[in-house]
Amino acid sequence: SDDITVIADGISVVKACGMIGREVEKITGVETVSYLLEKANELHKSIFLLGCRPEVVALFREKLACDYPNIVIKDLVNGYIEHKDDVFRRHVAEGADLVFTALGVPNQELLIHKYFGEAKKGIFIGIGGSIDVISGAKKRAPKFFQKHNIEWLYRIMKEPNRIRRFYQNNIKFIRDIRKLKR
Ligand code: UDP
């Protein structure tokens, strides 16, 4: 649909695009979110976030006040509450210019998919762990890992239980694309 933009935010998406003959550059979630915050600040736009741990939300709130003072905060709600659907739906109805979900893949995308049709405005985006990094709660992988496209390896080393998801979202994903091509 014209309403949807796919951002190649990881090396597996970049590779998959290459396999179907489209050269794309990787743009990370951190870069995309930083850009959107920059623009929202310039244009005095509003934000609603659902996701992240409570302490990350608190850090992000400080970051907004400090670095993006013109952004109107509709609400910042941590991603460990009950009734996420209800909270999300209510805010979709009220409307914000930036609507961020940070609940991990695929829950953040599924939630957007469910209620996007009810929205009157806004850029909706599943941002994964971007705010964990932007808020300063988590460090990005060192430059070496970034340069060699192995940030995923750093993340697995830091959080070994990511290995399962890495397999699903990357190894299996690439294999599926290869199958589609044949
Ligand atoms: N998260 C959340 N609620 C949950 C699970 C995850 O708010 O029930 C948040 C988590 O704190 C993090 C973000 O979702 O800020 C992304 O999670 P993760 O890094 O696991 O996902 P990825 O970015 O790898 O998709």
Instruction: Quote the pLDDT of residue 104.
Output: 94
Instruction: Quote the pLDDT of residue 182.
Output: 85
CA of 62 relative to ligand 1 center, distance in Å: 20
Distance (Å, whole) CA 122 – CA 125: 10
Judge whether 123 and 97 are in contact, CB under 8 Å: yes
Q: Mean pLDDT per segment of 10 residues, for the chain of length 182 residues?
A: 86 94 94 98 98 98 98 98 97 96 96 95 97 96 93 93 91 93 86
Query: Is any atom of ligand 1 closer than 6 Å to the C-beta of 102?
Result: yes
Q: Which of 55, 85, 100, 103 to mutate to test the pocket of ligand 1 (most atoms within 8 A of CB)?
A: 103
Distance (Å, whole) CA 101 – CA 16: 24
In 3D space, the residue among 14, 43, 59 whose CA is nearest the CA of residue 151 turns out to be: 14
Instruction: Quote the pLDDT of residue 19.
Output: 94
Minimal-distance CA residue to ligand 1 atom 17: 104
Share of the chain above pLDDT 70, in %: 99
CA of 104 relative to ligand 1 center, distance in Å: 4
pLDDT of 35-70, one tens digit each? 999 999 999 999 999 999 999 999 999 999 999 999
The C-alpha angle 115, 116, 119, rounded to 5 degrees, equals 100
CA of 7 relative to ligand 1 center, distance in Å: 18
- Quote the pTM value: 0.92
CA of 51 relative to ligand 1 center, distance in Å: 7
